[in-house]
Structure 1
Amino acid sequence: MKEQARLTALSETKLLDTDPDPRFDRLTRLAANSLETEIALVSLIDADRQWFKSCYGLGTKETSRDIAFCEYAIRANEIMVVLDAAKDVRFADNPLVVGEPFIRFYAGAPLITRDGHALGTLCVIDPKPRESFDETDRQILRDLAAGVMVEIEADARKRQVHDLSVINRELEHRMGNMYAHVTSLISLLDKSEVEHGQFVRRLREKINTLAETQSMLSRNNWQSVSIRELAIKSLQPFEPEPDNPLIAIQDQDDFHITARAAFAMSLLLNELGTNSVKHGALGSTGGRAAFGWTQGDLMQFNWQEKLIAPREAREPGSGFGSLILKRIVPKTFGGQAVFDIQPEGFNYSVTALPDRVRMLSER
């Protein structure tokens, strides 16, 4: 588990297989010059390789992990020094000792994150063995390794700031439609002169509807939602018996609608369902309703209700619900709404411009 956490921390640095960086190159050059070695490396220990973010005095970019001196250094979690690899039983037969670059002297300081994960090392290497590597030398290597970690952590902070900025912009974009609709709802409800309790109840009802749409959009990466899925979810609360549905929802020619259109559509369906339960087919014995759509240069969405026992025809009112059906939805869709109220049923349709409703990839 510790190794997996370490590899995760390494992956999160986004350093593996990236281009040379002068910030790290300056530090390896300084390490080699200060400690008088031919080679200095920023070595990152991946799952099965060691990869060099910075190479001073070495032409290769990576080696197998199983021959890496730095593998031992990250286990030690402190500076590891090998004065003469040819005389060290761990490394005497190592391909990097018996062959290029003929390592004899090695000193590596682990690159340790704030969470304690050793990502790799800053190491210095020389083909000549040494008699000693004293505390002053160790402190120089330790300080330079700390400089490497400063650069790595600076990159992480920059990414966090960038990611938060991106997230903020995305949330503003994705939530903006919902906030705009809520603001419009509050404004329209206020103008409809309902009493306070009803105001709060209707507003809560509509915000819950928008929240359900928000949830559906989030499952689709906030891009779009299926018109059929949206209709099923929005109209489900108005089905008195789920096993015996009274609302027929078109199951052919499904397509995805934009987030903005989805919010308007969910308000539309909620209002139609509410009205039908109070005054129409869904509130009467044997009544049925249907929702569908047609596509073309001008799209159209249709709601139809049929009653078994005719009722007195009621003209659409001027309250808040009617404002949604007459103004909010048509304005959002760039179309027009038509009401047809008869004793035996009720039909409502609204047209829409495709570029106001459909996802761009489906137009």
Structure 2
Amino acid sequence: MINALSTDAPIGNGWRVDEAVRAAAIAEHEIETLRDDAALRTITDFAAALCEAPISLVSIVEASRQTFLSRTGLEPSETPRETSFCAYAMLGDDIMVVPDARLDPRFATNPLVTGEMGIRFYAGVPLVSQDGIPLGSLCIIDRTPRAGLTPFQRQGLRVLAADVLNRLSDSRTSAISRATIADSEGRFRVLADSMPQMVWSTLPDGFHDYYNARWYEFTGTAPGSTDGDGWNDIFHPEDQERAWGVWRHSLATGTPYQIEYRLRHRDGTYRWTLGRALPMTDTSGAVTRWIGTCTDIHEQKLASEEREVIAQELSHRIKNIFAVISGLITFAARAHPEFKGIAEDLRHRVTALGRAHDFVRPHSAQSRPQAEQTSLHGLLDALFLPYQSTNASRLHVGGTDVAIDDRSATPLALLFHELATNATKYGALSNDTGAVTVTSIVDGDEIMLIWEEQGGPAVEQPESTGFGAQLIDLSASRQLGGKVAHDWAADGLRVVVEVSKAALSRG
């Protein structure tokens, strides 16, 4: 596996790698001068925000190391040359994009990929001097794979890379340095104004001091009128306190800011907007600036709400179907009294399935169960409610709660309904003193569900396997991919069901 370039390898512009390295090293004294340069930091801050990436670097590749003149979101100021992605990027003619470094043979075993830094996505613009000398790269890095960059992000990175080269070439005098900074800020504003999103930035304490043209175009406010905390006045009154709370939390903790709220449009209507911001930090981790965006998501929000209403209506109709089937079974049993017992068992099973469906189905804010809908304990509590005594709880659910989903709710409902029904007929719930305990135990990726009966009549293992026992085995082994064991102890039945976490929740 190759993690470093051969010094004999020819490159496209006629330079050999060893020649390029020596040429890049000529300006080593300038590298020290430009470390942590404020103008370069502005560029890496904006590159990270533009590409929504946690890390952005201006990297100069030398003979044995790569030095970061500016870095956003990264603590080290340099790394060995043999691990450098930028050593490859600087030799190209355009942006080098690595969608997933673990799948790229050049970088799959690179310590920056396999180690603590965990690089997965990389995009670097070559930094080539006016003389054609490869110097390094302006790059953005993410710890999760990506498909690539948008055309707008590519264009923005090229503009920012040109600013970096201007800064490098104009670093010898303070006058030129000030001109470069002004030019960089001007390019920043032009780039921000051309973005489809509303762009804003704040001081470390959250004071808003910049908005792009799109913000003023959308809100219809006068330039400067929303500086400071004036932005909150154009939020919907019902969203203002919530937005302040989320923003204060981000300022206090340094965590990325994200919230959906209604923003007043210039026509006076309120439109749903997604607000995001990333903190820019210095080498000590202190926040130096926040850069954020606002994206109009009004149509997507309305469509999502419509889909939720439709899902709730369909689910409600399915719930009614359970009730209709249960009624049909009862009606049929009246015409055939000899099947009353079978019909009653079937009706109870259908009712149990209905309760399981009602627990996991989409709900409105008013109908949503108190328990988390992905909670095994919540499902069991709802399922056992008809078996509980009016005086005291006789079925106790304990242990570590486990996540479930709509796929596992049905077999779980059938399994535990069958156990509860049998306990009511023959076991611990058939008298006034018995009780049942259900305990869930998590062991790594495996789940153990233990059903224990106490205080009931003495039990004996049946001579033959009935339909109920077959249903329990079908639910546990075939539908959940687990196994079930019965212990017919004299003092009470004990059933152990072993399944995997993946069988209970796709998450």
Q: TM-score range by the shorter chain?
A: 0.3 to 0.5
User: Rg: which structure is higher?
Assistant: 1
TM-score (norm 1): 0.44
TM-score (norm 2): 0.33
Higher relative contact order (CA 8 A, sep 6+): 1
- If each structure's helix is expressed as a fraction of its own residues, which one has the higher value? 1
